[in-house]
Amino acid sequence: MPAFQIAPSILAADFAALGASVALVEHDADMLHVDVMDGHFVPNLSLGPPVVAALRSCTELYLDCHLMMTNPGEYLDAFKRAGANSCTVHVEVGDTAALVEHARALGLKIGLALNPDATYDMVAPWIDQVDLLLCMTVFPGFGGQSFIASVMDTVAAARAEIDRRGLPTVIQVDGGIDVSTVPIAAAAGATNFVAGTAVFGASDPAGAVRAIRQAAASAVAA
């Protein structure tokens, strides 16, 4: 895996031509981010396991499923069967211990997400239990929102703890990530960047992935 991972969010892709959209980024992306919205945890609906299965049939990319759901535990098996590689659940829904155990039993990688108004304390007990910490840089529910820079306090706190303990936990940021915001997140300590609009809204999605990766790298090198 490269030092920085770029995860295009298919939420911003052309749903009528999903396979073609995925093909555009397949060689440059490190994984695909799949936003699952249930209409309860967030005020929007998106997609579910059948779409994950459709993606699985057209790409070998790692499928990183972000479950914006009140009851993710009822669907982990279905996402695993559909071909998901990882599922990220929100700390706000509770039951974190059971969800982590359930995902592990299924052989899924497990991520834990927190909303912009949550504090690092809420996820601190799980930092060594999960594969990925997802710091939301927008309130979840919609693509195309503006990056919330105050979340960098959480990213920096997580980075300090992960480094202090030598943990393999990945820090992902999601929401409003583009070439202008990714340096801020990279400097704070994130290494995995979800981008929807900035990738699939671009005239050259593959070039956009490369540009975001370059912008992250130059922020850390600077």
Q: Which residues bind ligand DX5 (CB under 6 A)?
A: 9, 11-12, 33, 35, 66, 138, 140-145, 174-177, 194-198
- The bridge status of strand 132-136 relative to strand 86-90 is unpaired
14 catalytic residue (yes or no): no
> Closest distance between ligand DX5 and the C-beta of residue 46, in Å?
9
The active-site residue out of 30, 64, 174, 178 is: 174
Active-site hit among 35, 117, 131, 204: 35
Residue tagged 């920085």 (tokens) = 4
Q: What is the DSSP letter of 117?
A: T
Residue 188 CA, chain-centre distance (Å), reads 17
Residue 35 annotated to the active site = yes
Considering beta carbons, is residue 66 or 109 the nearer one to Zn ion?
Answer: 66
Stretch that binds Zn ion, among 13-21, 22-30, 61-69, 204-212 (CB under 5 A): 61-69
Task: Please identify which residue in the block is written with the tokens 């967030």.
Answer: 42
What the block records as the tokens of 125 is: 């007990």
174 binds Zn ion, rule: CB under 5 A = yes
* CA-wise closest residue to 133 among 178, 101, 106, 100: 100
Cα separation of 3 and 79, whole Å? Answer: 27
Alpha helix positions (H), the chain: 18-25, 49-58, 76-82, 96-106, 120-123, 152-165, 182-188, 197-200, 205-221
Crossing angle of helices 18-25 and 205-221, rounded to 10°: 40
Instruction: Tell me the residue number closest to ligand DX5, measured at CB.
Output: 196
Please choose, out of 38-46, 65-73, 92-100, 212-220, the segment that lies near Zn ion by the rule CB under 5 A: 65-73
**Least distance to ligand DX5, CB of residue 163, Å:** 26
Q: Is 104 helix (H, G, I), strand (E, B) or coil?
A: helix
66 touches Zn ion (CB under 5 A): yes
The binding track of 19-58 with respect to Zn ion, each residue x by CB under 5 A or -, is ----------------x-----------------------
Query: In this complex, which beta carbon is closest to Zn ion, that of residue 33 or of residue 159?
Result: 33
The distance of closest approach from Cβ of residue 117 to ligand DX5 in the complex, given in angstroms and rounded to an integer, is: 14
Q: Which are the catalytic amino acids?
A: 35, 174
Binding stretches for Zn ion (CB under 5 A): 35, 66, 174
